[in-house]
Amino acid sequence: MAGSTQTKPTPPRWLLAELSYACPLQCPYCANPIDYAKYPTELSTEDWKRVLSQARKMGAVQLGFSGGEPLTRQDLTELVKHARDLGYYSNLITSGYGLTEDKIIQLKEAGLDHIQVSIQASTQELNDHIAGTASFEHKKEVARLVKKHGYPMVLCVVIHRENIHQMPEILAMAEDLGADYLELANTQYYGWAHANRDLLLPTKAQFEQAEAIAQAFKEKVAGKMKIYYVVPDFYEDRPKACMNGWGTTFLTIAPDGVALPCHSARELPGLDCPNVKDFSVEEIWNESKAFNFFRGVEWMKEPCRSCDEKDKDFGGCHCQAYLLTGDMYNADPVCGKSPDHGLIQQAIDSAAACALSADEKPLVFRNSKNSKLLS
């Protein structure tokens, strides 16, 4: 293994349960792997219950039910109830598509703590185009019902070049819907977003204008609505401390049971990510090659190895290093100290050229057909 630790790792605190890769939406920035259609099998109810119990015993407390669309699982309410009995704080991360008032009530009674509804834009036309499915009015109705039934309501909007100009309207929509939290997530360029980067990456001027609007709004609604703002790291000079450090906090379980140190790690070569059908969560977290791979600092190359900020950002994101430089041991090229930092500017220039080009290529939507074509 590339990295190893002598001391016992800190236990997981966050468990992301990707229940299914099935999704009625086709968002072209989906964080699922491009080749998700290769992994159609899903864990059984009993497998998930065992995983939840094992991770909780180690100390995981925040639980995200995600996907794909987690509502496609018929046993969602049963899993929510099991999670509540174990003491998890359960977050349902959903498109809202197909969510009825009866289901919202049923999930509340089972012990679900919070529902995060994604909306793709502030207008029906753009929302439905990006989602690849007519869903705008239903999503807004779901957001109102979530609020009505006493959940903290979190609205999540992924920001990219197609909707960044709508920032003022997106904020007004969040206020109108009574969101308790608004997550403004600038697109992170992995998975499908990486494939569509030329079409999604905004210019620096667009990003700065949108950020200034969001910042002013944040001050205006302080005390009423909390804003989670995910920065677009392509316009930063230092990388993010990805996953709060590899194998320190976050555990993702993919629909087929593969355990991942981050939800994009499936894209990295040679990790041999273990499956919860073969090992306990404790064995996976403490002993597996994959979870020890980038723990500590021994795996680092220059410029990270001698960097005085290495304990702050851990070299940044390995998936980004791999996708952009072809070597996951490299420093995240977002870092100004990386010899590959020029690749970021190249990506920005390429996206800008694409925006100006007369024959703009179409977005590749996230669906099984495209997944099979691209993998």
Partner 1 sequence: MTFNPEQTLKFSPLHRLQWEEAQQKYVILYPEGMVELNQSSAEILKRCDGTRNLPQLVSELEQQFATTGLTNDITAFLEVAIQNGWINPN
List interacting residues with partner 1 (CB under 8 A).
Answer: 11, 13, 57-59, 61-62, 64, 87, 89, 91, 113-114, 116, 150, 152, 154, 180-181, 223, 226, 228
Residue 332's nearest CA partner among 311, 314, 346, 306 is 314
Nearer residue to partner 1 within complex by CB, 156 or 363: 156
* Cα–Cα dist 251/327, whole Å: 23
Residue 18 has φ and ψ, to the nearest 5°, of -85, 95
Minimum CB separation of residue 154 from partner 1 in Å reads 5
Minimum CB separation of residue 325 from partner 1 in Å reads 30
* Cα–Cα dist 201/319, whole Å: 18
Nearer residue to partner 1 within complex by CB, 181 or 235: 181
Nearer residue to partner 1 within complex by CB, 8 or 362: 8
Minimum CB separation of residue 101 from partner 1 in Å reads 20
Residue 276 has φ and ψ, to the nearest 5°, of -70, -10
Helix ranges (DSSP H) in the chain: 45-58, 76-86, 101-110, 124-131, 136-148, 167-177, 191-195, 197-200, 204-220, 281-287, 289-292, 310-313, 318-325, 342-356, 368-374
Q: Kind and range of the H or E element at 66?
A: strand 62-67
Nearer residue to partner 1 within complex by CB, 13 or 138: 13
CA count, 13 A, side-chain hemisphere, 146: 30
Minimum CB separation of residue 115 from partner 1 in Å reads 9
- Are the beta carbons of 86 and 53 closer than 8 angstroms? yes
Nearer residue to partner 1 within complex by CB, 90 or 196: 90
Nearer residue to partner 1 within complex by CB, 150 or 270: 150
Minimum CB separation of residue 12 from partner 1 in Å reads 10
Minimum CB separation of residue 94 from partner 1 in Å reads 13
Tokens of 138: 């239903």
Nearer residue to partner 1 within complex by CB, 57 or 204: 57
CA torsion sign, 325 to 326 to 332 to 334?
positive
Minimum CB separation of residue 8 from partner 1 in Å reads 13
